[in-house]
Amino acid sequence: MAKVKGLDKLIKDLAKLGEEGIKTIAGVTEANARDIEVTAKQLAPIDSGKLRQSIKSFEVGKLKWKVLANATGLAPYAAYQEFGTGGLVEVPAELAEMAIKFKGKGIKKVDLRPQPFMYPALVKGRKQYVEDLKSELEVLTKKV
């Protein structure tokens, strides 16, 4: 699972500002999850369009969102597009635990080159998320 360095402290600092801080976190979190979804859709390879259609962002708890490929079941091949197959597999270290779930049994050798779309969207999105939270924290602390 990918983590965002310094995020916990930022969220705690914003939450200390009460209801307005919580609403700010919720808004920034939703906006950034949706931005990651849009970026992933833009980067996803196009064949039938099902992969792009399968990328969705959704709320999973208070202040928590997920962005998934194959969220709709339309693109069970999403992980193979992201990481590649056979001898061409490329997995970022922070996603290794998740990617191993898609490892084949080695029965059939198919070398598909990776076409990352989720990871680049995540990298871009999490950087923007921290910047947005810091910016909002500054605005709110000036009000107080």
Could you read off the pLDDT of 19-60 as tens digits, one per residue?
888 899 899 999 999 999 999 999 999 989 999 999 999 999
Q: Phi first, then psi: what are they for 94, rounded to 5°?
A: -70, -10
Neighbours of 95 (CB within 10 A): 18
Three-class SS state of 107: coil
Residue pLDDT, tens place only, 119-138: 999 999 999 999 999 898 88
